Structure formats: structure tokens, C-alpha cells
Structure 1
Amino acid sequence: MKTLVWVEHDGSTVKDATLAAVTAASKLGGVDLLVAGQGVDGVAEAAAQIAGVGTVHVADDAAYAHALAENVAPLVMQLMDDHDAFVAAATTTGKNIAPRVAALLDVMQISDILSVEGEESFTRPIYAGNAIATVQTSDAKKVVTVRTTAFEKAAASGGSGTVEAVASTGEEGLSTFVGSEIAANARPELTSAKVIVSGGRALGSGEKFHELIEPLADKLGAGVGASRAAVDAGYVPNDYQVGQTGKIVAPEVYVAVGISGAIQHLAGMKDSKVIVAINKDEDAPIFQVADIGLVGDLFKVVPELTEKL
């Protein structure tokens, strides 16, 4: 079985999400990669170094500069005659491209997989991660998105893939890139941070969020996250949200401050290696998944903790 993996990149480097997708794809058989963009020779060379990769297909065209799904999907289709499956990380971009590919192939997409049980069998979370379903497909071509926190990252070096240029399918004319507003953040990106400090609605205001959470995160060299309630209350932007409708994370240490532990939030962080919870309500659901729990007033506990670090 031969699998084509979508390479997510920033124009110069391969993103970690791709490495996890390669690991998942390798469980199906041989792995080829697709690098699409403008001026992506460096990305292609880096992709060829990923362990276990066969061929790196490169499409260099302005049509792919912003990874518009309407332009990328026909490119993927062009390569699917020689591949049995298309795999993408379950990121914003991957979840945009994969459904369009599945529609063009007229197959059912298998989303957000946690494991590969066989060439036609996978597990995936349902009910906000409270149950794991084993799903099986009889489709000749598979389209799969991968929950990257469930798979180890493939080695970024040591591979010897071959780079091969492929013809561009060009602009489809169905969508146009207008612009992007990217939040600048000096702290680690949530999906790749080894330590994350998250705040909840109990902080009371955006001012208190920044006053208490950010100094603690700085001491730990951590990324900063938030519950959906904190985001909805306007304490921090959407980029900070961890949860089923936010970012799925699995850091070495996850510190939850003033977060009660709603199912939606737990679905996004319960795979963390060590979970530390600080909450004044000893019956808060977060303590059911926490490895270390501290019952106390966060307005006193967090400054003390920050000071002692």
C-alpha cells in the first residue's frame, strides 16, 4: 500500500505536524510526500531527509503559495492514481484540504485518527474523546486526517527520499487569497510546546489573566493557553484556545489554572504527560484527570508559585 502525505510548511521549514502524519502513514505501507507552494526547494530538500520517505513530489507554483484547498485538491488527485491513500495532519490546513480530496475521489473521509489498526481499520475519538470508535472502510482509496498528538514524530533527518517535480494544475478560479492576520507570539506555539500554562474564566478578567498566567509561563518557558470560557469572555484571542473546538495539545506538562475541566476542554489536553490543576473547587472535574492537584485560591497560589520558581 502506498500513501501520499501532505507536507505542511511555512515556506522554509516542515512543520512538526507533518512528522506525526508520516509516522501514521508508515503504518499503512510506503510513504511519499507532497510539497506544494511557491519557492519551496528548501522545504522539499528538508522533506526528503525525513526518515522512511520514498519520493517527495514537488509542485512549485504561485497557485499553491497559500495552500488554498480549491487549488491543492486537483493536484492531489493528479497523484492519486499511483497512491492508495492520502494522509494529512488534522490541522486547520489539513482539515480544509482532505474533505475536498475525499469528495473528488467520492470516498468517505476518516477523520482525526488515533491509531492504525490495519490497512482498512482505524480508531478515532467520539463524544469529545469520551469513547474511542474503531472504524473500517471498504473504499479503494483512503483519505485520512491524523490527530498529531497521538503519534510519535518521525525523525526529521536520516532519510534519503528522492525529489521529483510534478506538473502544476494551476489556479481553479474558485477562491482567492485576500490576506492574513497572524498573531505574533514570542512564546512557544501551543501544538509544539513542551510545557503549557492555561487559564480559565475564574481569573475574572483579561488583565488578571496576563498578570498571573504570563509570568508563570515565562518562568517555565511555556506556551500560554486558555479554556473556551476564557476566550469567549474576551480575556485572550482565539489562538489561545485549547479544547475540542480549539487546539489539541499533548505537552510534557500542562498546568490548568482556574479551569473547571469541561468535557470540551479535557478533549484537547487530556493526553498531556503530566497535568497540574489549580482550582479552589475540590470537586472540579479537572481533578479527575490531574496528576497533581492543588486546591486553593489561584490569586494567592499562582503568584507564590511564580515567585518560588
Structure 2
Amino acid sequence: MSHVYVLVEHEAGQLSPVTAELITAARPLGVVSAVVVSASPAGFEKELAELGAAQVVEATTADYGQRLITPEVDALHALGAANPAPIVIAATPTGNEIAGRVAARLASGVLADVTAINPDHSATHVIFGGTFQATSTAAGACPVFTVRPGAIKAEPQPAAGELAPMPLPGATERDVTVTGFKPAEHSARPELTAAKVVVSGGRGVGDKFAEVVEPLADALGGAVGATRDAVDNGAYDPAHQVGQTGVTVSPDLYIALGISGAIQHLTGMRTSGTIVVVNQDQDEPFFEIADLGVVGDLHEIAPALTAEINSRRG
């Protein structure tokens, strides 16, 4: 029976939401083996079994916290070399780096940032700013796929979740030596790439993100995004940049405040479910793809919408 390896995303003892999406995406390729790489057994067997993992590989190395990327690469390389199968990874900066290294070691191809995987080992990409879909295949015994977070709806299908311990070797000369580590600060808002609602601000918001964009995002339980213009102007943190040179998001609801709709931004959010645009210029290109367009002053409309949502929630 065919099988597939899925690299599990986790942080601070919690599974990342994208893991459920990866298991769903991988299922057409065969029986899912979820690969958890950590310093010690993470105890995710039950959760991963509920999501659809028939096997849970616990790949552990005591010095995991002092290493970058190579433990994941070592684990997937060892598994693929011993028992070749496709490999599915999240299309994050770290995931894409792992994918490239694993593919090089296993002499297999990589399909990056895909939005669907097919039983014949082909995959779907959204290209040219989301205006076209392309289907491609990767050669080799262990083709590697990185899946765009939010592109696939998670559909749990409980499986056995059989535990398989896998000790990993310690650091070698290939490892980066970590001399200091400072975790990024996390807000109470959802992770941008996994959020079901994203409210983004552009140049039209100016420096009023805290007064206009953040309250609306909080009222909807969503994340905050920003355009490159807003980031370059110092209005918001670069980690929240959505677009060709930022992150790609695919929420159920995307609200764009004061954003013109340049192709570089649309590339990062075009696959969103419902798109709402608020801009005072009705000729902006963003209105062409909007499900709902509002022409007016965002500095009046967004606070009024926030107040209305909050009042209805009591």
C-alpha cells in the first residue's frame, strides 16, 4: 500500500493548525505517516490519529533546541532513504528550506507552494498573481511538496496513530551553531497565515493601524495584515506583510482597507474566500476581484463597522 510522510508543525507543545491541512492534503498519496521532530517525545499521537495519521514517527534528539533545520532534514532523509515515499511539508520559509535540502539528499524534485496534491503525484499551483492554475509533477522516488497554509480545508479522518520512536543523531559539521535564541513575541491574535479572518491595511490607512485596522480585526477574531507600502513607511511590522514579497494568506474573509490592489499584493491573498474592499477611489483595481466593495472613507467606515459588530455581540 502506498504511503506518504507529513512533517508535523508544532510550537510550544501545541500542534499548529496547518498540520491538519497537511494531513488532508497528503491523504490522496496514501497512508499518512506523521513525522514529529523534537527534543523529546511530544505526545501528539492521539491528536494526530484523530486528524488521520496511521503512524506517528517520534524523531527525537536531545540537542534539538540548539539546532536549526537539520534535525527535520535528517529525519525525513532517513525515512525516505529506507522506505521511499512522497513528503509533504508546510510552505513556510522554514518548510521550503527543509524541502530543498531533503530533495537534494534524496535526489528527488520539489513542488513548492502548492494548493492541492493529486493521487498521481502531480500538484496544483496558483501562478501569475492567482490569474492561472498550473499542474506539475516532480521526479524521483520521494517527491517533496510544500503546501500553502490555508489553501486546503482540513478534513480529519481518524486513523490508528501507531507510535514509532526514531532516535536522531546529534549535531555534525553541517549544523549551524546557535549561540543565542530569542522567541518572537506572539500576540493574542491568530497566526496570520492560519487565520480565518484577515484585516489588512494599506497606504490609505496611514499610521492609524492601531485605531482602525487592529480593532476591526479583534472584533472579528482575526489577524492583521499590511501591504508593502505600509511596511516600508514604517506603519506596521514587516512580519505582517501580505503579498509577493511577504506571506501568502487564504482566509475565509479578507478585508482590505485603503489598498489599491497592485498585483504584488493580490498574489498573496487572491485565494481568499470572501473579499471585502474599502477605498475612497472607486477606480482602484482591487474592486475588480472584490465580492463586496465599499466606496468611502475607511477612517469612518471601519470604526463604524467595528462598533456595530461589538454591539451585536453584546
Same fold, TM exceeding 0.5? Answer: yes
Q: Is the 8 A contact 1:199 1:258 kept in 2?
A: yes
2:171 maps to 171
1:86 maps to 87
Structure 1 residue 67: deviation in Å? 6.6
Q: Is the 8 A contact 1:190 1:223 kept in 2?
A: yes
Give 2:196's match in structure 1, choosing from 194, 197, 207: 194
Aligned residues: 305
Distance 2:66 2:75 in 1: 14
Q: Counterpart of 1:289 in structure 2: which amino acid?
A: I
Q: Is the 8 A contact 1:112 1:147 kept in 2?
A: yes
**Structure 1 segments of 4 or more deviating over 3 A?**
none
Structure 1 residue 5: deviation in Å? 0.7
Q: Is the 8 A contact 2:249 2:272 kept in 1?
A: yes
1:54 maps to 54
The one-character-per-residue Cα deviations of 1:234-262 (angstroms, maximum 9, x if unpaired) are: 11112211223322222222111001111
Structure 1 residue 285: deviation in Å? 1.3
Q: Is the 8 A contact 1:70 1:172 kept in 2?
A: no
Distance 1:63 1:154 in 2: 34
Q: Which ranges in structure 2 are unaligned for 5 or more consecutive residues?
A: 310-314
Q: Is the 8 A contact 1:11 1:37 kept in 2?
A: no
Q: Counterpart of 1:260 in structure 2: which amino acid?
A: S
Residues 103 and 192 from structure 1, CA distance in 2 versus in 1: closer, same or farther, beyond 3 angstroms?
Answer: same
Structure 1 residue 70: deviation in Å? 2.4
Pick which of 283-292 and 62-71 moved more: 62-71
Pick which of 103-112 and 133-142 moved more: 133-142
Q: Which ranges in structure 1 are unaligned for 5 or more consecutive residues?
A: none
TM-score when scaled to structure 1? Answer: 0.91
TM-score when scaled to structure 2? Answer: 0.90
Q: Is the 8 A contact 1:203 1:209 kept in 2?
A: yes
Distance 2:209 2:149 in 1: 28
2:20 maps to 19
Q: Counterpart of 1:180 in structure 2: which amino acid?
A: K
Matches within 5 A, 1:1-309: 1-51=2-52, 53-65=53-65, 68-80=68-80, 81-155=82-156, 158-173=158-173, 174-177=175-178, 178-205=180-207, 208-309=208-309
**RMSD of the alignment, in Å?**
1.9
